[in-house]
Amino acid sequence: MKKAIVLLSGGLDSATSAAIAVSQGYDTIALSFRYGQKHAKELEIAQNLAPKLGIKEHFVIDVNLSLWGGSSLTDNNLAIPQEGVNPQIIPSTYVPGRNTVFIAIALSLAEAASAEAIYLGINAVDYSGYPDCRPEYLQAFQNLANLSSKVGIEGKTPQLIAPLINLSKVDIIKKALSLNVPIDETWSCYQGGEIPCGVCDSCRIRNEALKQLGISN
């Protein structure tokens, strides 16, 4: 059976991307990261979600990017912004190198597991302006992957697939609903409390889209 790796953060986007991989007939292996984020909530959520999405196996790997901080998601001295999305700036929630590290580790797993695809929940429309969520970034990573690996030399590089990259958040939610993703069991909030904060960028973007669709959050 053809295999895919899905990066699963526990958020709405990665859950939807994972559901798409499963719906396309892949035997899926989820990969989540303990990267030094301030809260463990998203990992609990990811572990709860994986079997419900039809995922067969789930790795959680440590790679502690908080050793050098540089982001309000990993550095306790920096507060997570609450004032709303400003499309002109890259916010402090940007984690230096995070997607590059995550995709690199996914390539390692994909090669070891003979997976032919890596599904990513990244999105270039309703997002926070992160440079590592753009199509040209992903294309450059595919070029690198083709050169980096033993399987690449054999012409069997895993393909990086970002099925949500050009969708609005509204369209992502519609896609999630069509695939029976348990949206209310996903966690997009940058904070780690009992309920989502409602004021971080991630909550604001999600809640605005849910509101447009007439869904309560």
Consult the annotation and say whether 110 binds a ligand: no
Asked whether 78 and 114 are in contact (CB, 8 A), the reply is: no
Residue span 153-172 as binding mask against its own copies, x where in contact by CB under 8 A, dash where not: x-------------------
> Residue 149, interface with its own copies (CB under 8 A)?
yes
Q: Name the E strands within the chain.
A: 3-7, 27-34, 57-62, 117-119, 159-161
CB of 137 to its own copies, least distance (A): 5
Nearest to residue 39, comparing CAs of 69, 76, 14? Answer: 76
Site for its own copies in 58-97 (CB under 8 A): 59, 61-65, 67-70, 90, 94-97
- Dist. CA 75–CA 143, nearest whole Å: 32
User: Which DSSP string do the residues of 15-42 spell out, in sequence order?
Assistant: HHHHHHHHHTT-EEEEEEEE-S-S-SHH
CB of 7 to its own copies, least distance (A): 14
CB of 209 to its own copies, least distance (A): 25
Consult the annotation and say whether 145 binds a ligand: no
Cβ closest to its own copies, residue 122 vs residue 181 = 122
Q: Cα dist. 53→6, 8, 34, 46 in Å?
A: 11, 11, 21, 10
Consult the annotation and say whether 13 binds a ligand: yes
How many residues belong to the site for its own copies (CB under 8 A)?
45
CB of 94 to its own copies, least distance (A): 6
Residues making up the annotated binding site are 8-18, 189, 197, 200, 203
